[in-house]
Amino acid sequence: MTAPLQRPKRKNPVVKTRHPTLPPWTRSRVALGMTAAAAEGRFELQRCEQCATVQYPPREACCRCLSEELPWVEIDGLGDLISQTTLLHSHDLYFRERVPWRLGMVRLDAGPTVVVHLHGDVTAPPARVRVACKLDKAGMAVLVGFPQEDVPNMADDRQLREFTCDPKFRRVFVTDGKTATGQAVVRALAAAGAELIWVGHAEPWKRVPGLVDLQALPQVTLLPLDVTDPRSIKEVASQVGPKVDILVNTAEYHRAYGISTRAGTDIARMEMDVNYLGLLRLAQEFGPVMKARGADGQSSAVAWVNLLSIFALSNFPAHGTYSASKAAALSLAQCLRAEMKPAGVRVINVFPGPIDDEWNQLLPPPKLSPQAVANAIVAALRDGLEDVYPGDVAQEWRTRLKESAKGFERELAAGSGT
């Protein structure tokens, strides 16, 4: 049984911090279909449209009937462990530093045999297992074999933690604790076992409901931070930057209206200043130091979470300039993801539908409670996801965008969308 994770000891200052290494990341183009699904937490394989054969590894043609129609479908992952090994030698630097490493061969009920990273709680073969698809440190899809039924401390498995970003015993920086969502995120992280939580708050002279209560949490330290002020960010980064394992950027500026319903560019400029340039400033100060700690023992830097919006994917005219600033932030987040990849630090983008706060007062339900957004963020960290679409509105947007992005644009222009 997995031993429960222990609070990490203080870092020995004499020991050199290891350089981050990555598992092999080269994949064929067709195999990236698995990564697309794994980024959202699904295990998908190709299933032939003609003969229904499920195949693996991914191919360019059906291995049974040669059809080229090979849609990706979700697989339940149940199967039989037919063989196992534990590697004590590896050709690759990343695994060489991590042996012993347990692997299994699983015959999926869906058909194919798959090689998997094997969770320590799976009993020796023959055994029933549940295979899931995770992103590894290189951001690539890999299959992991789990015990069929959950067991205690499962998340603490040494190998599994290479694929997840569980906040337990980790030190987290939440950039804005003044919003309802920011406060919910802090509480959820505290409940998830975060070791320390630094919470930024702009304009500290303004008394905001709830902030004082947050301060009562033993993990929490408030830090004055204004993401529009480079000096403020630099100051905070110099204080806590080298200790941050997970950064959650909750800072956002949100006003309603589009182009003609508002005069001037002051509001739009503020939205860009916080939502886009704020992310850029944070990334410039915290990115390099987190990258340097990608392999810093049990609690190395693991994740950077961006609170975006489903409006980043297509403009919601009623909140038009806000949508534009979130689209800009999304584009920058992709750049950040590419730059954090060599360190194995995961960039998680969260795309909630309208949150039930004062800035969405005039939008009809369903609206997401701040708590639901916070829970989605913690779940994404625990499951090691990369893109998260919490709530019914976000899910519907995803589906309609996939079905017809242009058609959906027309519907949004006509006032639909939420």
* Residues annotated as part of the active site: 322, 326
Q: Which is nearer to other proteins, 20 or 58 (CB)?
A: 58
Nearest alpha carbon to residue 8 among 171, 119, 161 = 171
The bridge status of strand 246-249 relative to strand 220-224 is unpaired
Q: Which stretch binds other proteins (CB under 8 A): 76-84, 167-175, 277-285, 400-408?
A: 76-84
Select from 117, 130, 134, 254 the one that contacts other proteins (CB under 8 A).
Answer: 117
Alpha-carbon gap, residue 67 to 320, rounded angstroms:
44
Judged by CB under 8 A, does residue 388 bind other proteins? no
- 44 contributes a contact to other proteins by CB under 8 A: no
Using CB under 8 A, which of the segments 100-108, 202-210, 261-269, 400-408 binds other proteins? 100-108
Does 260 bind other proteins (CB under 8 A)? Our answer is no
Smallest distance, other proteins to C-beta of residue 28, A: 5
Q: Considering beta carbons, is residue 138 or 197 the nearer one to other proteins?
A: 138
Q: Which is nearer to other proteins, 106 or 248 (CB)?
A: 106
Residue 280 in contact with other proteins, rule: CB under 8 A: no
- Rg for the chain, CA atoms, rounded: 22
Binding-site string for other proteins from residue 303 to residue 322, where x marks contact by CB under 8 A and - marks none: --------------------
86 is a contact residue toward other proteins (CB under 8 A) = yes
Least separation, in Å, of the C-beta of 223 and other proteins? 39
Does 101 help bind other proteins (rule: CB under 8 A)?
yes
**From 97-105, 165-173, 276-284, 361-369, span contacting other proteins (CB under 8 A):** 97-105
Which of 2, 83, 148, 375 forms a contact with other proteins (CB under 8 A)?
83
Please report how close the Cβ of residue 55 comes to other proteins at its closest, in angstroms: 11
Beta bridge partners of 347: 304
Considering beta carbons, is residue 158 or 255 the nearer one to other proteins?
158
Interface with other proteins includes 295 (CB under 8 A)?
no
82 binds other proteins (CB under 8 A): yes
Q: Which of 38, 48, 62, 105 binds other proteins (CB under 8 A)?
A: 105
Site string for other proteins, 124-163 (x = CB under 8 A): -x----------x-x-x-x---------------------
Query: Would you say the C-alpha torsion 178, 181, 187, 192 has a positive or negative sign?
Result: negative
| Interface positions, 2-41, toward other proteins (CB under 8 A) | 23-28, 31
For other proteins, which is the closer residue by CB, 124 or 216? 124
Contacts with other proteins, residue ranges (CB under 8 A): 23-28, 31, 56-58, 63, 82-92, 94-95, 99, 101, 103, 105, 107, 113-117, 125, 136, 138, 140, 142
